[in-house]
């Protein structure tokens, strides 16, 4: 993998990033000249209305999409220099994803879903077991390891998704509307969990959200509108 390391403390850095989609005959600037840096230990929320570009920014940081112009560095690696396989490596080793719709693999149990990325990393069963069990315990799923997604509530499924995202100890967890599919009580408990993981384990979280519960908990709020960052406010 060609790793163009950057001399910085930033986990994520975006420099003049533009993402343009073609919709029919019209160019839509989903992300428009965005420059952003996410610090280690951040608990940041990308806020804004639907279609403002939050998810596009998250996808670009996660290496799921490539910018039309500009550069994205994750953990010091310039993603623009990587091919698909190398991007997969970055996602596998340095990024955790939490999706709105949980997106667990339905044929796998909670344990196996959490273990999935570690398997991709080629770790031994013994290594996986210890880490996965500890992670499941930390997200409050002790005793539910053998349940499949369809045997769990939405909140429990999202906890499994969080476990899957953090089990490999990634540089950053990207959470796209993580509380959008659960009730407010469950949303609070999920946020408690993520806040605790951020506080106790120093895991960096970047959310895309328009949920006030999330915004209220964030240490940093980045307002996005029409593909541009309009405000970036730390609340420490």
Partner 1 sequence: MNLNSLAWRNIWRRKRRTLITAFSIGFGVMLSVTFTGSGDYTYTNMIDMGASMGMGHVTVEPVGYHLKPTLDKRLTDTEKLHKQIIALPGVSAATVRITGQAMFASARKSIGGAFIAVDPAFETQENNLLLRSIVEGLLFSSRSGRGIVIGSRLAKKLHVRIGKKIVYTTTDADGEIVSDIARITGIFTTGIDMVDGIMALLPIGSVQKTLSYAPDEATVIAVVIKDQRHAEMMRDRVAALPEAKDVAVLTWKKAQPDLAGVIAFDKAGNYISQFLVGLLIAVGILNTMLMSVLERTREFGVMMAVGMSPKVLFRLVMVESFWLAIVGLILGIIITAPWYYFLYHFGIDFSGSFGNDFSYGGVLVDPVFKARLFKESIMAILGSLFILALLAGLYPAWRAGRVPPVESLKTI
- If one asks whether residue 121 binds partner 1 (CB under 8 A), the answer comes out as yes
| Residue 180 engages partner 1 in binding (rule: CB under 8 A) | no
Minimum Å distance from CB 92 to partner 1? Answer: 2
Sign of CA dihedral 61, 64, 67, 70: positive
108 belongs to the binding site for partner 1 (CB under 8 A): yes
Distances (CA, A) of 24 to 28, 59, 104, 171, 227: 10, 22, 33, 37, 19
Nearer to partner 1, 59 or 179 (CB): 59
Q: Rule CB under 8 A: is residue 106 a binding residue for partner 1?
A: yes
Are 114 and 164 in contact, with CB atoms under 8 Å apart? yes
Question: By CB under 8 A, is residue 164 in contact with partner 1?
Answer: yes
Size of the chain in residues: 236
Q: How far, in Å, are 25, 105, 219 from residue 203 at the CA level?
A: 42, 24, 13
Query: Tokens in use for 46?
Result: 């990308």
Q: Which is nearer to partner 1, 129 or 220 (CB)?
A: 129
According to DSSP, the residues that pair with 10 across neighbouring strands are 39
Binding status of residue 126 toward partner 1 by CB under 8 A: no
189, 134 contact by CB (below 8 A): no
Q: Are 174 and 206 in contact (CB under 8 A)?
A: yes
Interface with partner 1 by CB under 8 A: which range of 30-38, 45-53, 114-122, 218-226? 114-122
Instruction: Give the interface segment with partner 1, choosing from 23-31, 82-90, 201-209, 227-235 (CB under 8 A).
Output: 82-90
Under the binding rule (CB under 8 A), the answer on residue 112 touching partner 1 is yes
User: CB 93 → partner 1: shortest distance, Å?
Assistant: 7
* Residue 201 φ then ψ, to 5°: -110, -5
Could you say which of 75, 89, 145, 211 contacts partner 1 (CB under 8 A)? 89
Instruction: Give me the residues paired with residue 229 across strands.
Output: 224
Tell me which residues touch partner 1 (CB under 8 A).
59, 62, 64-65, 84-85, 88-89, 91-93, 96-97, 99, 103, 105-108, 112, 115-117, 119-121, 164-165
């Amino acid at each position: 993998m060609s790793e163009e390391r950057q001399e910085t403390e930033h986990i994520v850095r975006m420099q003049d990033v533009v993402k343009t989609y073609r919709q029919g005959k019209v160019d839509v600037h989903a992300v428009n000249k965005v420059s952003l840096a996410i610090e280690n230990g951040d608990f940041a929320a990308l806020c804004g209305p639907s279609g403002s570009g939050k998810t596009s920014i998250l996808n670009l940081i996660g290496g799921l999409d490539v910018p039309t112009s500009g550069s994205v560095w994750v953990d010091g690696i310039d993603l623009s220099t990587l091919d698909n396989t190398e991007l997969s490596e970055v996602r596998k080793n340095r990024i955790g994803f939490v999706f709105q719709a949980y997106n667990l693999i339905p044929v796998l149990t909670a344990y196996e879903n959490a273990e999935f990325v570690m398997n991709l990393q080629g770790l031994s069963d013994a290594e996986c077991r210890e880490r996965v069990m500890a992670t499941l315990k930390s997200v409050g799923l002790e005793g539910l390891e053998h349940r499949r997604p369809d045997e769990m509530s939405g909140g429990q499924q999202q906890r499994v998704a969080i476990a899957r995202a953090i089990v490999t100890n990634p540089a950053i967890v990207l959470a796209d509307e993580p509380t959008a599919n659960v009730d407010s009580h469950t949303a609070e408990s999920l946020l408690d969990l993520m806040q605790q993981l951020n506080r106790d384990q120093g895991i960096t979280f970047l959310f895309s959200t328009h949920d006030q519960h999330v915004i209220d908990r964030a240490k940093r709020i980045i307002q996005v509108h029409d593909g541009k960052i309009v405000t970036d406010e730390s609340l420490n």
